[in-house]
Structure 1
Amino acid sequence: MKTRFSSIVKYKHSRMQEDEAALQKALTRLQNAKRELERSIKELKTLNAPQNGNMQSFLASRTLRDAQFRLIEKNREWVAFEQKQVEAMQMQLKESMIEYEKFKYLEAKEIEKMQKALALAESKRLDELAMISYNQKEAI
């Protein structure tokens, strides 16, 4: 049965599905950020300072390590940002689900009310038919 809430329920359901998809994308981005952070930490562990050589090779090694530390810090910030995005998407999804369930409940109540009204109208029609039938039998 179509009620005044049907179109709202349909919209809220599609909105909830969009929020679910957005959350999945945010989770994927978070996993990518974590993977990139792990990769940059592993890469830092592979960098070794030269044990002997000239000053230029020591400075080059130090520059590489500093650059790797900056990359790790950037990746940590990226992970933190994506984590906040995921949390925001989870809250949005939660709100969407609550809204959807609320209107779904209202639609169910409206349908129940309509069914009761139809049952009452049907009962009245059957009573009228019974009265007409009874009056016709007495007239005969």
Structure 2
Amino acid sequence: MRSPFAPIVKLKKESLEEAQRALAQIVQAITHLQNQITQTKHALRELSMPQVGVGLQFRELLLYRGQLQSMLKIQTQQLVAKEHEKNLAQQHLNSVMVEFEKFQYLQTSQEQAHLKALKKRDALHLDEVAIMGYNLQRES
């Protein structure tokens, strides 16, 4: 027997899988941003100021250092935004999962009730057959 909840469960499962994919993409983006931040921090640590040299080189180095620092700031802001987006996606996933489990439970409950009714009907039929067999045996 096909439950009337089956199409709903199928749709809820698809939305659950979509929410899981969205969360996985956000986690992947967070990992990518964390790697970028690590690389930028490493580049800043490796940057050394010249002790002697032309003033123009010193200015270029200061400009490059400023660019790295602003890039680090932007990456950090993007990371914070992605973390917030991840939290929202996790909340959405949890709510979608609850909906899916609710309809799956309803479907399972209905299927179990149907099986119970079938077993009861089969038991009644078997009782009738047994009574008929007993009556036939008694008449002979």
TM tier, shorter chain?
Answer: 0.7 to 0.9
1:74 equivalenced with 2:74 (yes/no): yes
- Matched with 2:24 is 24
Matches within 5 A, 1:88-99: 88-99=88-99
The percent of aligned pairs where both chains have the same amino acid is 24
Q: More deviation in 125-134 or 88-97? A: 125-134
Deviation track 1:27-58 (CA, whole Å, cap 9, x = no partner) reads 11110000000101111112222212333222
Deviation at 1:88, TM superposition (A): 1.8
- Matched with 1:54 is 54
- Matched with 1:41 is 41
RMSD of aligned Cα (Å)? 2.0
Deviation at 1:132, TM superposition (A): 4.7
Amino acid at match of 2:51: Q
| C-alpha separation in 2, matches of 1:61 and 1:134 | 105
Normalised by the size of structure 2, how large is the TM-score?
Answer: 0.85
| C-alpha separation in 2, matches of 1:69 and 1:52 | 23
- Matched with 2:108 is 108
Deviation at 1:98, TM superposition (A): 1.3
Q: Extract unaligned runs of 5+ from structure 2.
A: none
| C-alpha separation in 2, matches of 1:37 and 1:56 | 28
Normalised by the size of structure 1, how large is the TM-score?
Answer: 0.85
Secondary structure class of the residue paired with 1:87? helix
